[in-house]
Structure 1
Amino acid sequence: MMKESMVETEVTYPLERDGKFVLIEQVPARVCSETGEQFFYPKTVEQIHNIINERTAPKKTIETPVYEFV
Structure 2
Amino acid sequence: MNNNTWQETFVEQKVNYTLEMEGKFFIIENVPARVCVETGEQLFSPETVQRIQQMIRGKEKPSRIIETPVYEFMAG
User: Which bracket does the TM-score occupy, shorter chain normalised?
Assistant: over 0.9
Task: Determine what percentage of the aligned residue pairs are the same residue.
Answer: 54
Task: Tell me the TM-score normalised to structure 1 length.
Answer: 0.93
The answer as to 2:61 corresponding to 1:60 is no
Give the structure 1 partner of residue 20 of structure 2.
Answer: 16
Output one character per residue of 1:1-59: Cα deviation in whole Å (capped at 9) or x when no partner.
22100010010000012201010011100000000010011111111111111102210
Structure number with greater Rg is: 2
Give the structure 1 partner of residue 38 of structure 2.
Answer: 34
> Which 5+ residue runs of structure 2 have no aligned equivalent?
none
Count of aligned positions? 70
Question: Runs of at least 4 residues of structure 1 off by over 4 A?
Answer: none
Q: Over aligned residues, Cα RMSD in angstroms?
A: 0.8
Q: Partners in 2 of 1:50 and 1:35 — Cα distance?
A: 29
The 3-state SS of whatever aligns with 2:56 is: helix
Give the structure 2 partner of residue 48 of structure 1.
Answer: 52
Give the structure 2 partner of residue 5 of structure 1.
Answer: 9
The 3-state SS of whatever aligns with 2:65 is: coil
